[in-house]
Amino acid sequence: MSKRKNLVIIGQGYVGLPLAMSAVKAGWSVTGIDTSTVVVNSLQAGKSHIEDISDKELQHAISTGFYVASQSSESVSNSEICIFCVPTPLGEGEKPNLNSLESAIRNIAPYLKAGTLLINESTSYPGTLRDFILPLICNIRPDLNRHLGFASAPERIDPRNIEWSLFNTPRLIAGIDEFSTTLAIQFYESICKNVIEVSSPEVAEMSKLLENTFRQVNIALVNQLVPFCDAINIDIFEVIEAASSKPYGFMKFLPGAGVGGHCIPIDPLYMHWKAKELGIDLNFIWQAHQVNSNMPNYVTDRLISLANLHEPATVAILGVAYKSGISDIRESPAEKVAHALIQRGHKPVWSDPLVQTFHGFEKYTSQNISASIIVTAQRDLPISLLSSMGVPILDCTGSFKSEPGVSQL
């Protein structure tokens, strides 16, 4: 880009901050907006809260003057593009919760100018851009009707994935009209190696849901096989490795204590909710959700049986982030395991070298532990220490088969 253009990214988490750094490198002048005072203060001090972005990379972007973190939406008035990268969790009754998205829209609306392109990267149900974002903005700013661009480009961020980055992961985009699509393509081609245009925002939105529903369903399949393999005394992980030796027609998915993160436990239910609105029953997807949601109870019962816990005891949960190598605890199955232990009369404590706090639960230090369960395979977990003290350990990850005294799922 011969001249830097201005870009606003709303939300500076696992999606928004990497996007901001990529845009700065590509020649954009970026304002990263976040409602969290803690996040903004940390970013302004050059401290990254995202594992994929180093302090050095953040500090360099700040030093160039082309990245600013802020809580104010005023910079939208000087920007050509505004991108939403905000949380879209589930609300009451496992329905979509678009409160953060609506709040972001209401905050920026007073500062919008004609010609601005608004892009939604936040995962949601098909129709979110056309039926929710566009009408809301046009209702707040009727003076800008037909003078704004709208596009969907669902995020495809996989934290700590060293093979597939924001740059080399293909990006799906679609605008509501030719103007919007053209501008969106130009932007994403500046930061992504492969940009794929699809026919409508609804296709882009639905594709993101399908990607993670595919994972949810296949994880549910192997999770459902865990009790069966245990009953016939065979190792489910060995079965999966054997099956994955087939060079075609099989894709490897692993069982565990449940599913976590901002995608797999949530995205399929956005699809399920939208289908119910239309009177369509996606019962296969719902059953997969039920299977995976029950895994924390199942592994807790397996542990209690393994350790013969007949009296109230203190149990250590090892690895509480939702995946290895990160500190993110959103939707982590470890939290559900902790609650399952409490329901059965036991006290959970936890250990994870990458996590600072975990939903108010007590951290493992030197408590007397009666049993332990490995939920996420993090480095430097006290597995050998607990094993040497004779503590029964159930490994839900299949990563610690060589450790003495560790039983497999």
Residues acting as catalytic residues = 263
As a whole number of angstroms, the distance between CA 17 and CA 260 comes to 21
Residues 5, 8, 11: CA angle, nearest 5 degrees:
155
Which of 83, 79, 74 has the alpha carbon at shortest distance from 101? 83
Structure token digits, residue 13: 């988490």
As a whole number of angstroms, the distance between CA 28 and CA 278 comes to 41
The DSSP letter of residue 324 is T
Residues 319, 377, 224: CA angle, nearest 5 degrees:
95
As a whole number of angstroms, the distance between CA 316 and CA 376 comes to 13
- Enumerate residues 6+ apart whose C-beta is below 8 A from 112: 76, 77, 82, 137, 141, 144, 148
The DSSP letter of residue 364 is P
Structure token digits, residue 362: 């007590």
Q: How far are the Cα atoms of 218, 219, 262, 389 from residue 284, in angstroms, in the given order?
A: 11, 13, 21, 44
As a whole number of angstroms, the distance between CA 309 and CA 302 comes to 11
